[in-house]
Structure 1
Amino acid sequence: MKSPRMLRLSLATTLSVALMATLMPLAPASATPSIAAPSEISTQALSVDSAVHIAARKIQRDPSRTDVFVNKSYPLSPKKYAPKTVAVPGTNVRLKSSASSAYTTMVKAAAKDGVKIRAVSGYRSYARQAELYNYYTRIYGQSYASKISAVPGTSEHQTGLAIDVGNNNSACGLQACFADTPVGRWVAKNAHKYGFILRYPKGQESITGYSYEPWHFRYLGTSLAKSYKNSGAKTLEAYYGVAGSKSTTPPSKSAKGTAKTSANLNMRSGAGTGNRILLTIPNGKTVKLTGSKNSGWYQVQYSSKTGWVSGKYLKNISMPSNTSKDTPKKDDSKTIKAKSAKTTENLNMRSGNGTNHRIILTIPKGKKVSVTGSKKSGWYPVKYAGKNGWASGKYLR
């Protein structure tokens, strides 16, 4: 997919400059890459895993097609597919010819409205994506890296049909604030007229698997892009029907302690994609809920097996009458006894309890932090390097 973004970290200026260098598209083959190519790509770091695997029946998988669908669960085939690309006029960004022509037409239309669009990044090869993904994994850990960068072989940029855009003056480059700039507003409103769609919208992170990217646009061709726009779908996943939205059906219409799968869904040995797959529950099957819930995952019983499934792919959820749908409130309000903890990954300290809050700094893996108060919605108030903020309890021990 995905262009790594400029993250708001209170790091030294030198690191910020280095990060910006990695965000730029790969220079021509004769140039020296900004990141040294790894001698070996870690199998663990590049494993493509998802809570759901859906059989593709009506989805275009041919990577040479303009309407090819690719995301975390639908990798390119072959994974190292390399399209024929051309340089976007006046830039070192490369795209497939059809996408480049459409982009050039869009830029000219925007210029007539007084808006100057800048091409930031386009085609990236499998090898280049591997460099970037592994770089962010080393810096932030695999969990966070996977929200801001695609595993090689699953990136829209590898198709030559995705482009990251920005302001001519580089204001808010690859940042969420780009959406409120002249270019950001113009492309959000008009891109579909030229065959492009905003691929990773705000509020759809649980569906796309990536953080909000108001600068990332995917070329589908004018006919499909307009159809997508007119459909009212918020994501390409929703448009193709590969990701069900949360059910609005009142729980009372379902038997107590049951739910239905909205996709072919993996049952795992624990709450999280890092746990072993026990079996795959077919789409539309009813599962029995045990009443246990953890971080958006539900413990269920199906086909004589008991395990955990992601709540993103359950509908008509009706918890057992003797349990609560959420973790008991006393768990969040309880004052913890521990006065310190250690990080299990490179962990962002934020200004509030949630990923929507500003990043203050990144605490390296294995560092000790002081816990200064009570847990709130799975987050702990902590102190590290003289700074106070909040850290996710998932990465503390």
Structure 2
Amino acid sequence: MATASSIAPASANSISVAAARKLDRNPSHLDVFVNKSYPLKPARYTPKTSTVSGTGIRLRPEAAGAYNKMVKAAKKSGVRVKLISGYRSYNRQAQLFNQYSRMYGKKYAERISAKPGTSEHQTGLAADVGNYNGACALQSCFEGTPVGKWMKKNAHKYGFILRYPKGQESVTGYAYEPWHFRYVGTSLAKSYKNSGAKTFEHFHGVASTKKNSPKTVKGTAKTTANLNMRSGAGAGNRVILTIPRGKSVKLTGSKKSGWYQVTYKSKTGWVSGTYLSNVSMPKSETKKKETKKPSPKPNSSSKKTTANLNMRAGAGTSNRVILTIPKGKTVKATGKTKSGWLQVTYKSKTGWVSGTYLSNTSTPKKSKPKTESSPKKKVKTKTTTANLNMRTGNSTKKQVVLTIPKGKKVEIIGSKKSGWYPVKFKSKKGWVSGTYLK
């Protein structure tokens, strides 16, 4: 293994010479090299791991020990590092990759997730970290948070390197991940830092970019999911048609609040930029100032977050986090709901959030629909027989939302499940045990 003194500091030429050495492909070694072009051998390699204290996450014992030292050092500096992800098996990686492929298409999935057998997480040496308050979890803005800044400056002292740097996707094969750190041991980590190499690929002399990648045509983009084209820039506008995933659309050049005006099959409308890739605005239009009248505001209700709340790509905690909405912020509900989750728009981003952490602030200003003339549905209520905890799910292991005093009426808003009722009390929604209701 090269030492810090054997690696010349700093020019592109010196880096390539110093890094011209044989790659270590043994998955049991700390300096094993793995990426899309250099998969693990065997592909289903399983390391010995141990649980990192204070978490349910596993790492190789060497990496776990170094991580604990790093966390203690960070805490002394006033920074709290949280471990988000560590070892992932071949099968678990396959599940994640297939999930992202279904959601965004295979091409985009390959930018944000490794195929099974090519992931550093499978070595037990990779760690995804974040802030304890959940700010910018698994997002590029993590680099500007206290933990992100501290890790970038100090991680190498404890044997960890930033594996997927900004602007190096053509070399590493992955989008920028300021939260992904790889344990290689303190000696190699310091050598890598001192070498000035842009990536681990550069350091080993195997950096190469894809020269034959297809050129992006100006004025086009590609859909990464089945995507609704709407009459205006906002999820509250009328759906004109649904564009299938993987289709190319023409960009008119107009953009507003994260939405793009596009043309597809002779129809023109607006789509959310969240579900577009290879976006390249037309030259003639990008120089022009947008003079179009603002699109009508979406007919959607306003809600307020009651806690720091993750916006996700789908309805469920297993979906990717798009951003974290701070407590007390107002979001626009599009009207779509699924299993207690609501689709909302916040800062030009559209995604799904748990309705448990939302409260009403206003309702849509719209004339009452004809259906309101029909008789109102009778509200079903029950009374608490003791001080009763309302929880986020139908189990005592779930988080307590609030405690309902004895003798209070609660509204039953759904079907009983495993002895628990979904209820509403003082604008809060959650689950309570039916044992203490009459």
Q: Scaled by the length of structure 2, what TM-score is found? A: 0.49
Unaligned residue ranges in structure 1 (runs of 5+) = 1-55, 246-264, 273-293, 297-330, 350-361, 375-379
Mapping 1:74-93, distance limit 5 Å? 74-93=38-57
Shift of 1:364: 4.1
RMSD over aligned Cα atoms: 3.4
Following TM superposition, the consecutive aligned residue runs of length 4 or more in structure 1 with deviations greater than 6 angstroms are none
**Residue type at the aligned position of 1:365:** R
Counterpart contact for 1:157–1:163, Cα < 8 Å: yes
Q: Distance between the aligned counterparts of 1:348 and 1:224, measured in 2?
A: 46
Bigger Cα Rg: 2
| Count of matched residue positions in the alignment of Structure 1 and Structure 2 | 239
Q: Distance between the aligned counterparts of 2:206 and 2:78, measured in 1?
A: 39
SS at match of 2:48: coil
**Residue type at the aligned position of 2:109:** A
Which of 143, 164, 181 is the matching residue for 2:107?
143
Which of 369, 372, 376 is the matching residue for 2:252?
372
Counterpart contact for 1:140–1:345, Cα < 8 Å: yes
Q: Could you say which residue in structure 2 is the equivalent of 1:382?
A: 262
Shift of 1:386: 4.2
**Residue type at the aligned position of 1:382:** V
Q: Is structure 2 residue 151 aligned with structure 1 residue 187?
A: yes
**Residue type at the aligned position of 2:73:** A
Q: Could you say which residue in structure 2 is the equivalent of 1:106?
A: 70
Aligned-residue identity in percent: 62
Which of 205, 210, 215 is the matching residue for 1:295?
215
Q: Could you say which residue in structure 2 is the equivalent of 1:213?
A: 177
Which of 156, 162, 165 is the matching residue for 2:129?
165
**Residue type at the aligned position of 2:215:** S
Q: Distance between the aligned counterparts of 1:370 and 1:120, measured in 2?
A: 39
Assess, with a 3 A threshold, how the Cα gap between structure 1 residues 169 and 346 changes in structure 2: closer, same or farther: same
Q: Could you say which residue in structure 1 is the equivalent of 2:163?
A: 199
**Residue type at the aligned position of 1:116:** R
Shift of 1:178: 0.6
Shift of 1:346: 2.6
Q: Which has the higher contact order (CA 8 A, sep 6+)?
A: 1
SS at match of 2:179: strand
Mapping 1:207-246, distance limit 5 Å? 207-244=171-208
SS at match of 1:372: strand
Bigger proportion of residues as strand: 2
Higher mean C-alpha displacement, 209-218 vs 363-372: 363-372
**Residue type at the aligned position of 2:252:** T
Assess, with a 3 A threshold, how the Cα gap between structure 1 residues 181 and 347 changes in structure 2: closer, same or farther: farther
Counterpart contact for 2:262–2:269, Cα < 8 Å: no
Assess, with a 3 A threshold, how the Cα gap between structure 1 residues 366 and 192 changes in structure 2: closer, same or farther: closer
SS at match of 1:215: strand
Q: Distance between the aligned counterparts of 1:102 and 1:225, measured in 2?
A: 12
Q: Scaled by the length of structure 1, what TM-score is found? A: 0.54
Mapping 1:325-340, distance limit 5 Å? 332=218
Q: Distance between the aligned counterparts of 2:68 and 2:99, measured in 1?
A: 32
Superposed CA deviations along residues 292-330 of structure 1, whole A, max 9, x for unmatched, are xx529xxxxxxxxxxxxxxxxxxxxxxxxxxxxxxxxxx
Unaligned residue ranges in structure 2 (runs of 5+) = 1-19, 229-241, 255-259, 281-438
SS at match of 1:158: helix
Q: Could you say which residue in structure 1 is the equivalent of 2:344?
A: none
Q: Distance between the aligned counterparts of 2:27 and 2:215, measured in 1?
A: 35
**Residue type at the aligned position of 1:186:** W
Q: Is structure 2 residue 58 aligned with structure 1 residue 70?
A: no
Which of 214, 217, 225 is the matching residue for 1:346?
225
SS at match of 1:166: strand
Assess, with a 3 A threshold, how the Cα gap between structure 1 residues 123 and 366 changes in structure 2: closer, same or farther: closer
